Every structure is written in structure tokens, then in C-alpha cells.
Chains A and B, each alone.
Chain A
């Protein structure tokens, strides 16, 4: 399983765009990139998953360059409720039977 590296923490203010970058230099050809969000005392929640270029859903965008050695999770106009830990994972898609290896994650603090 490819190892991921993320910043330990980030600070932002309400209404700003937040970009969290994840490095995964050893990503395999068949690997996808998945991001999870975790609030205190809750289980992680799936945010977005992608393979290349750009993926967008109702909560975030995921940018993946051509070499796929990194990816950036973009949260538009964050609010206080976006304060959480964000995990970047790399592995096969449709991970119903694949164990997930969580890295350190990025602790995002959004202030008023």
C-alpha cells in the first residue's frame, strides 16, 4: 500500500478556500486516491475519490496532476463545521474488501 504524506495541521478562516495536499510518490497504476473526513468522537466519513485530473462533488474537489504523485483536496468557502481531520488514502477503488491504511491526517482548524 502506497504511503501518504500530509501536513499535520492547517489553519483557515470562514469563507476561505482550503487546499490540502497529499504526497504519494509510490502510487501504483491501479491505485485511486480517496479522502476521508473525521470529526471528534466519530468515524471517518468518505468525501471524495479520484484517479486522475479533477473530480468534483457537492462538498469538495480533488485535483490530481498527470504524474499522480500528489493530490490536492480543495474545500471551497469553509465554515466552522469543516474543522476536522482529513485523511488521504491511496489504494484500489471499491475498497469493500481491502484494508485501509490511514496516515497521520491533516487537522484543519477553521476560525471565525
Chain B
């Protein structure tokens, strides 16, 4: 079945650091990927829609200059948290779907970001 891989699974870094998270579709092409953020004991919150070859669409309240999204190929989208601060500490999850197969979205296993 469709597999979505995220890397890294966990990141711990100092405040002010920029962190890049990768989301890959391993066995299918994904023209659209989605990025979510999840705080402890809370639900997933959609941050942005990543479109291959074009600019991402951000949800209201999500700073596009803070969370840079690049979707340069049909199998890879990246989320860069720029100048991260402790309040950016969260669980970041991506999802994608193989539109050609009409399957529901599949999610990566998330990236736990901890900013010290």
C-alpha cells in the first residue's frame, strides 16, 4: 500500500535554529501533500497544503515566512521551521495521497520537534 515517510522522526535543537522536515511518498507520486501540527492531547491542525511546482496554501493564522514549504518534486515536500522558538515545539505530520489510485490520504509517522 501507499507509504509516506517523514524524516527525521525527532529533532532537538536550540532556540533560533532552523529545522527542515522531509516528507516523501515512497511508492507513488503525490502532487499534493498536507502539513499538520499537533500539540499534546490535542487534535491535528492543518497548517498548509503543499502543491508540487507551485506555492503552498497556508491556513489562516499560519505564518508562511515562519513555516517554509517546498514541494519541488512529485515525491518530496519539505517543511522548514525558521528561527524556531520553544513555542514551535510540537508534533509535525505530513500526509499525501496517490490521486491516480483514488486512495484515502496516508500519513507519515510524524516529527517530534523540541526547541530548547
How far, in Å, is B29 (CB) from chain A's closest CB?
Answer: 11
Q: Say yes or no: is B54 at the interface (Cβ < 8 Å to chain A).
A: no
Residues of chain B lying within 8 A (CB to CB) of residue A49: 104
The reply to whether the CB of B109 lies closer than 8 angstroms to some CB of chain A is yes
CB-CB under 8 A from A101, the residues of chain B are 46
Enumerate A21-80 residues with CB–CB distance to B below 8 Å.
34, 36, 41-46, 49
By the criterion CB–CB under 8 Å, are B46 and A100 in contact?
Answer: yes
Whether B103 and A42, one on each chain, are in contact in the complex, defined by CB atoms closer than 8 angstroms, is no
Interface contact B99-A96, CB-CB below 8 Å: yes
Q: What secondary structure prevails in chain A residues at the interface with B?
A: loop
- Selected contact of A46 from candidates B34, B49, B104, CB within 8 Å: B104
Query: Residue among A43, A46, A95, A104 with the most chain B CB within 10 A?
Result: A43
A45 cross-chain contacts in B, Cβ below 8 A: 107
B-contact 0/1 string along A69-109, CB 8 Å cutoff = 00000000000000000010000011111011111110000
Q: Are B44 and A96 in contact (CB under 8 A)?
A: no
How many inter-chain contacts with C-beta < 8 Å in the A-B complex? 68
Given contacts A41-B110, A43-B109, contact A96 B46 (CB under 8 A): no
B108 to A, closest residue via Cβ: A43
Q: Report yes or no: B108 in contact with A105, Cβ–Cβ below 8 A.
A: no
Do A96 and B98 have beta carbons less than 8 Å apart? Answer: yes
Return B14 CB to nearest CB of chain A, in Å: 22
30 A-B pairs (CB sep. < 8 Å): A34-B104, A36-B107, A41-B91, A41-B110, A42-B109, A42-B110, A43-B6, A43-B94, A43-B107, A43-B109, A44-B44, A44-B95, A45-B107, A46-B106, A94-B97, A94-B102, A94-B103, A94-B104, A96-B30, A96-B105, A97-B31, A97-B99, A100-B34, A100-B44, A100-B46, A101-B46, A102-B44, A102-B46, A104-B43, A105-B43
Other than the known A36-B107, A49-B104, A96-B103, what 17 A-B pairs have Cβ atoms closer than 8 Å?
A: A41-B109, A41-B112, A42-B110, A43-B93, A43-B94, A44-B95, A46-B105, A93-B104, A94-B97, A96-B30, A97-B32, A97-B97, A100-B44, A101-B46, A102-B43, A103-B43, A104-B43
